[in-house]
Structure 1
C-alpha cells in the first residue's frame, strides 16, 4: 500500500492538514496566536467558576501573546517571531485563548476586522465553545468567508456528558452537535477538538467519539492525550485519586490513534494527535517526545499494520 494514491491526493496514509493547506493556498501559511482577553462562561460565573479542570492557558500561549497588547501589536510581534524562520508567507490570526466568541457581536466584529485589516493576514481561526455561538455571529462570519479563510474550532472534548460534567465543561455534547450543524453550509471551515483520557471515558468510548464526530459536517479533527498540568484543578484531583484517570502509555496511544484513523471519515483532515506541555508544566504522562517524533512513529505504525484513514469507515445513516 505504500505507493497507493489515496483519495486526498497523496500517498500519506491519512488526510493530513498541512497537505490540505498546500492544496488550498499557493504560499506558506502560518497561524499567529492572539490573546484578546476573553473568558469563558464556566469561569465568570455564568455557568460555573474555575473553568475546565484540566485547563491552564499559560501552558500553550506563546510569549508574544498578551491581552495587554492590541490585536495589531500581537500580529506584528507574531510576524517578527516567525520571520526569523520563514520569509515570504501569509498569516492566519488565531484567536486561541479561552472562548473567542464570548462577547457582544459589535466587540467581536471590531477585533476580527482589526486582525483582517493587516495586509498579510488572509483569514481567522477562532477557538471557542459550542455554547457561545449565536446565529447572528454565524451570519456575519458567513459573509467574511466569501473573502477570507474563516475557521471555527469547537472544543467538543468528549461525546460523554458525564465526562463533560466531570471536567466542569458547562455544556453538553448535544449542544456541540447542534452548533456544528448550524455552522455547516456557510463556507466556514469547521474544526473539532477531542481530549482522550478524560474521567468517565474509556478507550472504547473515545474511539466511538472520534468515529461519531467524523460523521458530522466537520472539516478537521484535532485530538490529543489528556495531560495533567501544574496549577490546575485536575492536578489536585490526580494527586488524591490517580486511578480515576486513563493516562495513555505512548505505545498504547499510538495503537489507539491507528484504530481511530482506520475508522473515521476519510474526508476529515487530521491536524493534531498529541499535546506537548512546556517543561515544568507537565505532571503526567511524561512521554519525552516531540510532535514530529510522534508523527514519525505513527507513520511507521500505519505501515506495519497496513492501515490508512477510512479503511474500516462506515457512514452512520
Structure 2
C-alpha cells in the first residue's frame, strides 16, 4: 500500500526510501557478519523480499540466517502492517512478535513509514538493522561469502558488477517498480506513462534474451534474480490487478522461455507461492477494489502448471549448467 506521501500531485507513485541502510561488513559502524545473529523476515508475495530468499537459498545461507514469514494478507488493523498469523499462536517463534511494526517501532519509536519486507532483524536486540532491499542480495553475495556453501554460484562476478548494477537500476525503475507505478497511479496520465515505459523496457529485454540465455550470457547473475521476481508475478497478479495488460509474459517468446528456465532452477520455483501471490494482489484490503473485496472471489487461473513445460533455453548457450562457480 502506498502512503499518501508516496503519490505526488500528478498522481505518480514514488516509493518510500529505505530507513535502515547500514551495510554489512568488517568496517567501523558496519553490521557484523555472524551466523545465527539475524532473522530475515519476508512475505511470499513480495518481489523485493523474494529475491533475498532466492539468493539466500542459492548461496546456502539457510542455516546461517533464519527465516520468518508474514502472512500474504494484510491484517485488519487501522494501519499498514504485516502479521505472523501463519505461525502457531500468530506469533513469530523466534522474535515473539505478532506484527512486523513491533520491531520497526522498537528500533525507532518515531518511525512513521510502512514496515516493509525484507527486513533483517538482530535477534538478540529485536530490532531492524537493515531493510535495504536494493542492496541486500549484494551483501549476501559479497559480505556473507565466508558462509557460502561449497561451490556456491558466483551471482555477482567482479568483472561484471558495474554492468549488472547499471542494468539492475534500469530494471528496478522500469519493471520492478514499474508495475507498481501502474497499479498505484492516481491519474490516467501517470498510469499511461508508467505503462508505456514498462512495456518498452519489456520489449527491449525480449530482444536481449533472443541471443542470451540469461541477461549476461550463459550464467545466472544477481540481475536475473531481480527480474525473475517481477516476471513470475506478472501473469498471475500484475496483468489484472495492476492493469499491466498490453501483453502477458507468456506472449513474449523469449521472456517466457527465460522465465521457465529460471523457475525450474532450484531456489526459484520452489520459493514461489502462486496461491499466496494471488491472494494478496487480488483480495488484499489495500489493492483490490471494493467490489472484489465484497465478493471475496479469488481468480481460478491462470494455469501455472505451464511453468514446468520445456523451454530449450540451453540451446542458446550450448551449456547445461546455469551458474558460474
Select the structure that is richer in strand.
1
The structure showing larger relative contact order (alpha-carbon pairs under 8 Å, at least 6 residues apart) is 2
Select the structure that is richer in helix.
2
Q: Shorter-chain-normalised TM-score: which range?
A: 0.3 to 0.5
